[in-house]
Amino acid sequence: MTLQDFTGFLGWCSAINAGLLILSTLLLLIFAGRIKKLHAALFKLETSELPITYFRYLALYKVLIIVFNIVPYAALKIMA
């Protein structure tokens, strides 16, 4: 695998992960009531705890995308 191939791979990983982050954010905003009921029943949580849990999930996912996809992609683009 060449440096260009790996750079392209990380670029596509970044795009796919960013798309998934946007999709999950939109789904949480649009279907908040239904999703809260489902998650409260599945995980035996209070519905008042769920917005904090969703925020933590989205924040952690965003940080992981930045650290493992976007920063290495930018570093490889600078090197090339």
Rg (CA), the chain: 17
Q: How many domains does the chain have?
A: 1
- Overall size of the chain counted in residues: 80
Mean pLDDT of 65-73: 98
At 9, list the tokens: 């791979």
Mean pLDDT of 38-66: 96
pLDDT band for position 80 (cuts 50, 70, 90): confident
Residue 49 domain boundaries: 3-79
DSSP-assigned states of every residue in 29-79:
HHTHHHHHHHHHHHHT--TTTHHHHHHHHHHHHHHHHIIIIIHHHHHHHHH
Could you give the CA distance from residue 38 to residue 72 in angstroms, rounded to a whole number?
Answer: 37
Model confidence, pTM: 0.90
> How much of the chain, in percent, has pLDDT values that exceed 90?
98
